[in-house]
Structures are given as structure tokens and as C-alpha cells.
Structure 1
Amino acid sequence: MPNACDFSRDINTIANIDAVPLILKMVKHITGMRFAAVARVTDTRWVACAVDDSINFGLKPGGELVLQTTICHEIRQHRQPVIFTHASEHPFYSRHPTAKKYALESYVSIPIIRSNEDFFGTLCAIDVVPALFDEISVSQTLALFAQLIAVQLDVQDAFMSKEMALLNAIETGSLREQFIAVLGHDLRSPLSAIRMSADLLEAKLTDHRERTLTSAIRKSSQRMSALIEDVLDFSRGKLGGGIPVKLALHDDLDSIFIAVINEITASHPGIVINQIVSISSRVFCDGSRMGQLLSNLLGNAVTHGARDHPIQVMAMTEEDHLILSVTNQGPCIPESLLPLLFEPFTRSSEAGRGEGLGLGLYIASEIVKGHRGTLSVTSTPETGTCFVARFPIS
């Protein structure tokens, strides 16, 4: 087989999409076929980027087929799905050279088309025995999976472009921030469609394994949504003079904070959070943003803190101020790095479990500024790392 090193970037990009292995398993399960793949298809080459093979077809990521021997070559031209369940009884595909060459009886291939209308390749499944499924339903479901892959490709490309832009001269900063704002806005619509479709699909499925896989896809899209919201908050903060807050009197801030703590605990079962939440006064604030503030601080503590030590959360009123603190044990942050923690795209190099874009603490600091408060951090081996937010109550 020809060397596929020229396609290493595409292979790595697909490998970095967490949902792809789940999608391939779902494709096999829904169709009943035993081979599924994501293929990069150009005008000269067919290269496998991800493979789930139970029939020993012989392809691995980076493996190639001669383009002209594939039906994907035709799909690249007409950009329409191709499905058949029993080639030897099909009026057209019983004579098709690809079906004959690879002894295919069942076949599904859905085009993966990027948002800029570029043809990336196909999401496909094959088997050497006939398959039994509803072609319309399978076509619609696999088209949804192909759309999810396309959106993830766009997101990864956009973030890669953004990171490269950060290395450019400082005068490109304004253009970069405008690009991020447009990117976040444009990605929300297709992502919302994917999340709603995953919800509908999960509601219709009865098989536990199918529901588990669909739930994983939905959770991946939710995480993408959270990243996009962080990007939008970043762009609002940079381009609009700060993250907007809607101030109102709240007497339920206790319940807002406790709900956030419960949500973090539920999503990270191995984490212990000790809490002291006692807010005796009504607070003039943006309740939603205050919940986001605590969520970001807790998310940082979960990511960078020691797993065998509990996280401490305290929220209470003191005279005419509200004080919120989050403390975790773990690697001590060098004093020289402390002032940089609230800068965008900054992540601790010691943690090794870091996820996200490095915007959480920046957004937290912007929320605090919007409430005319202060956010400080200390980090010592004895007391751990402690973030303290302090706000005027009224």
C-alpha cells in the first residue's frame, strides 16, 4: 500500500475526536455490518483515518485502497449516500466492479462535508454477507453521525488556527478575537441540532448499549457547547468591555451554589467536596454568573487538585461583603506564575490532566470584575491552592 504520511494530519485529527470510536461502534450495531470506517477521500487517494474491523478486512488507520476501486470515488463526485443490503440481488450493484472485487454484499457510505462545502471523505460500513435494516432510517442516522464528525473537524481546525494565531505578532490580536466571536456564534446552531438529534435518538432507543453510546455522543456535544460558551464569553470580555452581568437582588444564592456543587460532584464521582454555604443576606448580583463563577473555580480545582484530598468550598457573608473561596490540595503553583493564572489561554504545566482552553479562570475574574469585586489566589504546600472572591453585597 502507498505511504499515507501525507495524510497524517487528517488521521491525527480524526483520532483526537473522542466520539469517533463510539460512532463506528454505533454504525456497526445499527447496520449489523462488521466493518466501519472514517475515510479521507481526495481526487487521487482513499485513506482510512479510523477503523472498527470485525471481519479482518485488513485496513488500519493510515491504510489505503486504490481510489478507483472504491465507491467512495463516485460519492465524492455526486455527494450522495450509497446504500445496498444485498449486492448479488441488486439490479445495479450486482454488476458493480467494487462489489465484485471486495466480495461485498452489504454497504453503506455517507459523505462527510465540511461547513465550507469541502468534501472530507466518508463514514462507511461494509460486510461480505447481506444485511437487514431499514435503509431510510439508517441513512438519516448515519447522516447525523457524519454531520457530527464534520462539526468536530471544523472545531478542531478552528482551535488549531486560533492557537497558531496566538503565536503571531501582537497586532493580530484584535482580528483573532473577532474570529473567535464569529466562530463561537456560527458553531452553536449545528451543535444544537446535533444535541437535539442525539436526545431524540436516545429517547427512541430501547437497547441499553445503544442508549449508552448515544448518551456518550450527547455528552461530547455538551462539552463542546461548554467550550464554545467559554469562547463567546472570552470574545465578549475582550471586544465588549467585559463579560456582561445582569444585577438583581437574590435571596437564593445558597441554593445556586449548592446546585453547582452537586452537579460537579455528580459528574466527578471520585471527587469529595466539603462545603460551608451560609449566606445570611440578600445579595445584589447576577445569579447565573455567580453559579458560573463557582463552577469555573471548582472545575479548575477538580482538574488540577490532588484526587485523594477533598476540595473545600466556603460561601458566606461578612459585614457588607460576600466571600466565596475554593481550596484544593495538589502541586504548589510557583509565585511567579500566580499573576498569569487569570490571563486567557493559560493552563498549569504541572497538572497533566488539564482540559479545555485555559479560559475558566479568565472568565471567573471577568465575572468578579463585573460585580465590582476582587479575585485573589494563594498557593503553598501547607494550605494548598486557594481562590478567594470578595464582592459587595449591595
Structure 2
Amino acid sequence: MSDSAEAIARDIAAVARISAVPSLLRLICQNTGMGFAAVARVTDGTWTACAVQDDIRFGLLPGGQLDVKTTLCSESRAARRPVVIDNASLDPLYRDHHTPRIYQIQSYISVPIIRPDGTYFGNLCAIDPRPAVVSDPRTVTMFTVFADLIALQLENEDRQEATESALVDARATAELREQFIAVLGHDLRNPLAAVGAAAEVLIRSKPETDVVRIGERLRATTRRMSRLIDDVLDFARGRLGSGMGLHFEPVNDLGAALGDVVAELREANPHRAVTEHIAVDTAVRCDRGRLQQLLSNLLGNALTYGAVDRPVSVRVAVEEDALVLAVSNHGEPIRADDLPRVFEPYWRPRSSVPGGGLGLGLYICAQIVLAHGGELQVASSAEHGTCFTARLPVAGPAALA
């Protein structure tokens, strides 16, 4: 146990926060007839009063210290058992001991305070210049029980302090996350927009030149970076509790909006075949942009992990009262033990190559579908390929209430 002034002050404050201690000390004095009782913090080199009940004007206040070598608490600490004296003048063991003589006391009791983890804190003790019967089992048991209660309360104080410290750290972490979101939302998007504009200028140069090809590559990279930023922003907002920011309204042209997503990814992957069957002939209450994001993530995932010589299929239709959106591809199936994990954040299959993404796309897809009151499922086999299927209520999430 540390003897530093900071550690001593911390322990004095911990005892002071235990509201029952003053009552326990008063009860000790009343039941034993002794005039002074204290909770003491005891180390190899210090004896410090943390709480006192002084009815005999002994003169020691909380924070006051005695030379530990002049006390019997050091002996109790070493043996980890009570030291009890009814009448020092008649006690064969302590009648010539220096402690009763120095402090002019006759009766004395000191019981160790040991925390639940076995560490020693100090002693619960009482003294009086007159003899008192304190060696009877009832009195010793009372002191022992009170010492155990104080030890338990000290343990609870430590746990509460640790919890409060963790909460402070959590708040600091939340603030850092919010700052991180601000950086992503502003400081990264602005230079990314400049790169995208430069790519468009290069693409409009003379056709069939290396400059145009460089511009197209820059534009593809810019789009990919923008999607990564969107994914991180959505994930961070969701974890911070502010949600993904969905706006629900009846959308009459959802089929065309989803068709635009397919066309965009076809353009970005000119060497891949994408088949589509989109038939949405009714208004769907949804967030148009989020469903476009859903299809974009699912289709992008299929193009990334699907076999390059097999087409990727997109099917969107209204079946009864549900919008069904399915994206399927052929290629190496997802392992059976990985299927339950595909919608976890930061999860990526073992076959992923470095730089392929952050592993947030499917997690965000699941959150979008969940926010719409729907369900996103995946099935994967070598025979039938991999298919992600989202089912959302046409009337929106409110229809489920």
C-alpha cells in the first residue's frame, strides 16, 4: 500500500464517503464504554486516522497521523488478527508494552480491515484510559463484522470510481468520434470533390488518349472513396445513436431510381455482365436514396466477389405487400460458418484482398432494411451461387405497428 500523500488523501476521502462509518463508531463507543474509536489506514510506515469518534479529547482528527511503531495496529497488521486488551496494567503480555504507556490507555481493541480481494487497508480500533471488557466474543464479533462492512464499502467505492472514470473515458471517446465524423464529412469530402472535378476535366480531353484513361481511373477511384466515406459516416452515426437519417415518403418511380443504380455500376464495370429485372408498378413508402444505397452496396459486393465470367443478376419486384430486392452471383460460396457473420461490421470473407473495403457495406445494408421494417437474408452454395434477398413492406415500417 502506498504511503504517498495523494494515496492517503484518496483513502481518507473514500472512508468519508461511507455514510455508515460515523454511526458505527458511535455504536462502538456506546456498546463498549470506550471513549475513542477510529478507522485507521495503516501501512508499513504510516498510521492515519480516516474517521474518528472522540469522546475523551484524545485530540486526533481525520487526517491526523501517529508514529506507526508506537501503535499496536502494526502488530495486528502483521498477524492479520485482532489485538484485544481489557486492562493493560494487569495483562501479562502488554503490561510492559510501550503503546499503553505512551498513550496512557488501559483498554484497547484493534481489528484488521481486509478487502474482499485480500489486500490490507487498515484497522478498526478503540481505546480508553479506563479498563473495559472488550475481549468477550460478542464485542470482538461486532468489531469484526463492522470491519468487514467497511472493507466491502471500500470495494464498492473503488468500483464506483472505476465506473465513473470509464464513463468519462466513454464521453471523451464519443467526442472524438463526433470530431472524426466532422473530419470525414467536411475535410475529406472537399478535396475528394476537387479530385473528382479534375477527373471529369481529363475525361473531356481528346478521346482515346492516356489522359482520358487516367481521368476515368481517377473518377472510379473518387466514386469508391466517396462510398467508403458514406459507409463510415453511416456506421458512426448509427453507433453514436443519432441513426442513419432516413426520410420516408411515397416513391412512385422507385423502379427507375434502382435502374439508375444498375446503369451506374455497369458503366463502372464495363467488362462485367449484369442482368436486371425490375418491375415496381406501385408506390413504395421508403427512403429513395437509402434503397439506392442498398442496391448499390449489394450489387457492388456481388461484382467484387462473384465469378468474373458469370453474370450478376438483379431482381426487384412487388410480391403481395412486400418489395423484394434480390442480387445474386456465381462463384466461390460463402462458408457455412461465415453466413451468420456476413452482416457484422468490419467482417470480410477470408478471400478478401487488401484494399477491397472496410467491411461495412453489408452491415449498412442490413441496417437500411431493418429501418424499413424489413429483413435481409443470404443464401450461398456452390450449385446455386450467392443471393442476398431483402423484403420490405410496401407501406413502410409504420405498417408493421
With structure 1 as the length reference, what TM-score do the two structures score? 0.52
User: Partner residue of 1:223?
Assistant: 224
User: Partner residue of 2:239?
Assistant: 238
User: Partner residue of 1:183?
Assistant: 183
The answer on whether the counterparts of 1:331 and 1:350 sit within 8 Å (CA) in structure 2 is no
Q: Distance in 1 between matches of 2:329 and 2:171?
A: 38
Unaligned 5+ segments in structure 1 are: 1-169
User: Partner residue of 1:299?
Assistant: 300
Distance 1:356 1:171, change over 3 A: farther
The Cα offsets for residues 330-358 of structure 1, whole Å up to 9 and x where unpaired, read as 11212221121111111111244871211
The amino acid that maps onto 1:309 is: R
Query: Once the 2 structures are TM-superposed, how far is the Cα of residue 183 of structure 1 from its aligned partner?
Result: 3.4
The Cα offsets for residues 354-373 of structure 1, whole Å up to 9 and x where unpaired, read as 71211111111111112111
Q: Secondary structure at the match of 2:324?
A: strand
The amino acid that maps onto 1:364 is: C
Q: Distance in 1 between matches of 2:207 and 2:225?
A: 26
Query: Once the 2 structures are TM-superposed, how far is the Cα of residue 171 of structure 1 from its aligned partner?
Result: 11
Distance 1:227 1:370, change over 3 A: same
Distance 1:203 1:246, change over 3 A: same
Distance 1:209 1:350, change over 3 A: closer
Q: Distance in 2 between matches of 1:242 and 1:275?
A: 31
User: Partner residue of 2:313?
Assistant: 312
The Cα offsets for residues 19-43 of structure 1, whole Å up to 9 and x where unpaired, read as xxxxxxxxxxxxxxxxxxxxxxxxx
Which structure's CA Rg is the greater one?
Answer: 2
Q: Distance in 2 between matches of 1:195 and 1:385?
A: 33
Q: Distance in 1 between matches of 2:255 and 2:208?
A: 40
Query: Once the 2 structures are TM-superposed, how far is the Cα of residue 207 of structure 1 from its aligned partner?
Result: 8.9
User: Partner residue of 2:394?
Assistant: 393
Q: How does 1:21-40 map to 2 (within 5 A)?
A: none
Q: Distance in 1 between matches of 2:270 and 2:194?
A: 29
Query: Once the 2 structures are TM-superposed, how far is the Cα of residue 190 of structure 1 from its aligned partner?
Result: 2.3
Please provide the CA RMSD for this pair: 2.7
Query: Once the 2 structures are TM-superposed, how far is the Cα of residue 208 of structure 1 from its aligned partner?
Result: 3.1
Query: Once the 2 structures are TM-superposed, how far is the Cα of residue 218 of structure 1 from its aligned partner?
Result: 3.8
User: Partner residue of 2:214?
Assistant: 213
Query: Once the 2 structures are TM-superposed, how far is the Cα of residue 174 of structure 1 from its aligned partner?
Result: 4.9
Q: How does 1:243-322 map to 2 (within 5 A)?
A: 243-322=244-323
Distance 1:352 1:221, change over 3 A: closer
Q: How does 1:1-394 map to 2 (within 5 A)?
A: 174=174, 177-178=177-178, 180-185=180-185, 186-200=187-201, 203=204, 208-352=209-353, 355-394=356-395
The answer on whether the counterparts of 1:234 and 1:359 sit within 8 Å (CA) in structure 2 is yes
The answer on whether the counterparts of 1:303 and 1:351 sit within 8 Å (CA) in structure 2 is no
The Cα offsets for residues 291-341 of structure 1, whole Å up to 9 and x where unpaired, read as 110010001111111112222211111111111111111112122211211
User: Partner residue of 1:64?
Assistant: none
Query: Once the 2 structures are TM-superposed, how far is the Cα of residue 205 of structure 1 from its aligned partner?
Result: 7.1
The Cα offsets for residues 104-137 of structure 1, whole Å up to 9 and x where unpaired, read as xxxxxxxxxxxxxxxxxxxxxxxxxxxxxxxxxx
Distance 1:217 1:328, change over 3 A: closer
User: Partner residue of 1:68?
Assistant: none
Query: Once the 2 structures are TM-superposed, how far is the Cα of residue 392 of structure 1 from its aligned partner?
Result: 0.6
Distance 1:292 1:367, change over 3 A: same
With structure 2 as the length reference, what TM-score do the two structures score? 0.51
User: Partner residue of 2:115?
Assistant: none
The Cα offsets for residues 45-82 of structure 1, whole Å up to 9 and x where unpaired, read as xxxxxxxxxxxxxxxxxxxxxxxxxxxxxxxxxxxxxx
Distance 1:217 1:277, change over 3 A: closer
Q: Distance in 1 between matches of 2:172 and 2:306?
A: 35
The Cα offsets for residues 214-248 of structure 1, whole Å up to 9 and x where unpaired, read as 44334333322222122112112221343221111
The Cα offsets for residues 112-165 of structure 1, whole Å up to 9 and x where unpaired, read as xxxxxxxxxxxxxxxxxxxxxxxxxxxxxxxxxxxxxxxxxxxxxxxxxxxxxx
Q: Distance in 2 between matches of 1:278 and 1:257?
A: 10
Distance 1:196 1:336, change over 3 A: same
Distance 1:171 1:374, change over 3 A: farther
Query: Once the 2 structures are TM-superposed, how far is the Cα of residue 176 of structure 1 from its aligned partner?
Result: 7.0
